[in-house]
Structure 1
Amino acid sequence: MRNCEIHGARDLRIADRPAEPLAAHQVRVGVKAVGICGSDLHYYQHGRVGDFVIRAPLTPGHEASGQVLELGAQVQGLQPGQRVALNPSRSCGVCRFCRAGAANHCENVHFFGSASKWPHMQGAMREQVVLDAAQCIAVPDALSYEVAAFGEPLAVALHAVRQAGSLLGKSVMVVGAGPIGALVLMAARLAGASALIAADIVDQPLAVCARVGATMSINLSRDAAALQALTQGRGQVDVCFEVSGSHAALANCIRATRPCGTVVQVGSLGGSSEGCPFNQIMVKSLHYIGSFRFVDEYAWAVDYLSRGLLDVAPLLTQALPVERVHEAFALAADRHQAMKVMVTF
């Protein structure tokens, strides 16, 4: 089978690999669409994500959908030919976090496309993947493979919104208007937020956010006055989501959030924290919450997509065949042109 492999920084190859064996509780899926995520880009561009360094060829991809090819002897509830969304996370179910209902912090998790463990956990950017039946969620034939592959990033957004608590009637600002930020806006709208503010330093993702429900857009690189207005009176926004992975973005969230409001960190912060007003978390009695991956929100996300409760089509920039995978990664890295780029098989 064709298999995309990152061997190091800027070293992405398509290799032929033998098919994996199938256990009784597993399903063989023919992968049809895989989204390129920020972590995939980091592995491709730098050969690492933070402290997680590629030590052997790594297959990226954790946003995926496909078609059932073969069932293990013990699998029930699925049929060959069925379309499925692929949950990239397989938790152990027995560690202290799984038992506490926090499977996103499972001590023995297997998550597609990550170099955080050794051996590396291989991802879904390949012609076939074998995974547990519980990771396969059937979707309607009318749902495109590309939309079904949005299940994972939408689950991340839903978990972030869930972490924030009730949003009914509240004002929400999302700083970082990429795919996850746009999905957080959409999830916040679904949760009843009354005002949805998108902030970024690039016009293109802000325009997409306007299409999916943002009631106000701020380009932080040239509209300091709009941001300043949100910081007046010790902050005007009820709930802010940091989704860019930037300390500057976090600083804007802290300044714009009203006293006793909520800041949810979704992005993985990088760079210097100099100038970030952390003391304001104390002074304004802010609720500061981290949001990591998802738990049962993956099933919710696929259900919402299947029923058309959220229209993610505006976020899909382009789907390119695997033979053009290098072009796909280059496009995905250009925020002035792309939101979500997918690789298809």
Structure 2
Amino acid sequence: MRAIVTAGARNLHVVEQPEPQPAAGEVTVRVGFGGICGSDLHYHAHGANGAALVRELLTLGHEIAGVVESAGAGLESDVVGRLVVVHPATPCPPAGCTDGRGLNRLRSGTYLGSAAHFPHTQGAFADRIVVRADQLRFVDDSVPARRAALAEPLAVALHAVSQAGGDFQGLDVLISGAGPIGCLAVAGARRAGAQSITVSDLHQAPLDVARSVGADVTLLLGSAEVPTAAFDVVIEASGAPAAVNAAIKAVRDGGTVVQLGILPPGPHPFDLGQLITREVTLRGSQRFDVELDAAVELLARAPELDAIITHVFAPDKAVEAFEMAADSSRSCKVLLDFGA
């Protein structure tokens, strides 16, 4: 079968690998679509994602939708043929999970397509993958497989909404950054009852996508200014260090800023004095815990999210797909079509 692997920076290949076989309690999923994530782009561009350095061949990918092809011993056969998405997190053994952390913060847990541990946790950009049956989430038949591939990043966005309190009834919300996660955060904020949703970005094309999925106002930075102290909640989804101070400046006194975008490694100068004098809450948001179920349900009711998918490539065009995904002025979510 085909798999998309990296051997380090700018060393991406499509290779042939043996087809995996499910053990007891596992299933084989024939992959339909896989979404290219920011972490995949970091592994491709730098051979690392933060402190996670590629030290062996790593199959990338964790945002996938596919069809259950076979089930291992002990599982009901009626799961075969079902459209599913996969929770990428593998929890640590129960003895190591006594600190009450969610799946997104387990110290010894793993994640599909991650070099955080050695041996690496191989990912899902392949014709077939084997996962535990409890990692499956079944998708409504009305949802196209390519939209289902948005479930994992949508769960990331929903977790950020949860970190901001979860109830946005009557609130004015700013989302900084109109990349795939930022646009999906629009859907999350709308689901949470936001009164108004403003999205800012440096490029017009992603702002057009944000408008398509429900943003009330879009601001092209450089041509428009973000209002000061105008928003109850700011979700910072760009990951640009300068955007953090801008987010703190944009939130109202007593409001909440959620840092969702992944910042570059190392210290950064932030105006933390405003957190004190204006009693602003600043919270981090890492991946997601239980929000994948809500994401699957929301996808069945939100066909407008199809607009986030701007490009689809065959696996043999993986390098071109990654280059397109890295160009935020031209693309939003880029998918790989494995043809299941």
Which of 160-169 and 310-319 deviates more?
A: 310-319
Aligned to 2:201: 200
Measured in 2, the distance between the counterparts of 1:30 and 1:134 equals 17
Aligned to 1:277: 271
Measured in 1, the distance between the counterparts of 2:333 and 2:73 equals 37
SS at match of 1:311: helix
Which of 126-135 and 67-76 deviates more?
A: 67-76
Aligned to 2:335: 342
CA pair 271-118 structure 1, distance change in 2 beyond 3 A: closer
Tell me, yes or no, if the aligned pair for 2:71 and 2:77 is still in contact at 8 Å: no
CA pair 76-303 structure 1, distance change in 2 beyond 3 A: farther
Measured in 1, the distance between the counterparts of 2:163 and 2:100 equals 16
Question: TM-score, structure 2 length as denominator?
Answer: 0.94
Amino acid at match of 1:222: S
Q: Which residues in structure 2 correspond to 1:228-243 (within 5 Å)?
A: 230-231=227-228, 235-243=229-237
Q: How many angstroms does 1:131 deviate by?
A: 0.2
Aligned to 2:151: 151
Which gives a bigger RCO, structure 1 or 2 (Cα 8 Å, sep 6+)?
2
Question: TM-score, structure 1 length as denominator?
Answer: 0.93
- Structure 1: 5+ residue stretches without partners: none
Q: Tell me the alpha carbon deviations over residues 134-186 of structure 1, each in whole angstroms, 9 at most, x when there is no partner.
A: 11112233322211111100000111101111211000001111000011111
The answer to whether structure 1 residue 329 and structure 2 residue 330 are counterparts is no
Aligned to 2:214: 213
Q: Tell me the alpha carbon deviations over residues 7-53 of structure 1, each in whole angstroms, 9 at most, x when there is no partner.
A: 11111111111122321100011111000011111111111111111
Measured in 1, the distance between the counterparts of 2:47 and 2:220 equals 31
SS at match of 2:330: coil
Amino acid at match of 2:15: A
Aligned to 2:173: 172
SS at match of 2:120: coil
Q: Tell me the alpha carbon deviations over residues 108-153 of structure 1, each in whole angstroms, 9 at most, x when there is no partner.
A: 3121111111111111001110000011112233322211111100
Amino acid at match of 1:67: V
Tell me, yes or no, if the aligned pair for 1:262 and 1:286 is still in contact at 8 Å: yes
Q: CA RMSD in A?
A: 1.7
Q: How many angstroms does 1:218 deviate by?
A: 1.2
SS at match of 1:289: strand
Aligned to 1:19: 19
CA pair 281-50 structure 1, distance change in 2 beyond 3 A: same
Amino acid at match of 1:38: G
SS at match of 1:264: strand
Q: How many angstroms does 1:189 deviate by?
A: 0.9
Tell me, yes or no, if the aligned pair for 1:36 and 1:63 is still in contact at 8 Å: yes
In the TM superposition, structure 1's runs of 4+ consecutive aligned residues that sit over 4 Å from their partners are: 95-99, 271-275
Amino acid at match of 1:325: A
Aligned to 1:122: 122
The answer to whether structure 1 residue 261 and structure 2 residue 262 are counterparts is no
CA pair 309-56 structure 1, distance change in 2 beyond 3 A: same
Measured in 2, the distance between the counterparts of 1:194 and 1:177 equals 19
CA pair 274-29 structure 1, distance change in 2 beyond 3 A: closer
Aligned to 1:181: 182
SS at match of 2:313: strand
SS at match of 2:58: coil
Amino acid at match of 2:324: L
Tell me, yes or no, if the aligned pair for 1:98 and 1:106 is still in contact at 8 Å: no
Q: How many angstroms does 1:303 deviate by?
A: 1.7
- Structure 2: 5+ residue stretches without partners: none
Aligned to 1:132: 132
Tell me, yes or no, if the aligned pair for 1:239 and 1:257 is still in contact at 8 Å: yes
Measured in 2, the distance between the counterparts of 1:98 and 1:87 equals 21
Aligned to 1:319: 312
Tell me, yes or no, if the aligned pair for 2:89 and 2:103 is still in contact at 8 Å: no
SS at match of 1:285: coil
Amino acid at match of 1:315: I
Amino acid at match of 2:178: A
Tell me, yes or no, if the aligned pair for 1:95 and 1:107 is still in contact at 8 Å: no
Aligned length: 337
Measured in 2, the distance between the counterparts of 1:139 and 1:215 equals 29
Measured in 2, the distance between the counterparts of 1:145 and 1:326 equals 23
SS at match of 1:8: coil
SS at match of 2:334: strand
Measured in 2, the distance between the counterparts of 1:313 and 1:213 equals 12
Tell me, yes or no, if the aligned pair for 2:3 and 2:126 is still in contact at 8 Å: yes
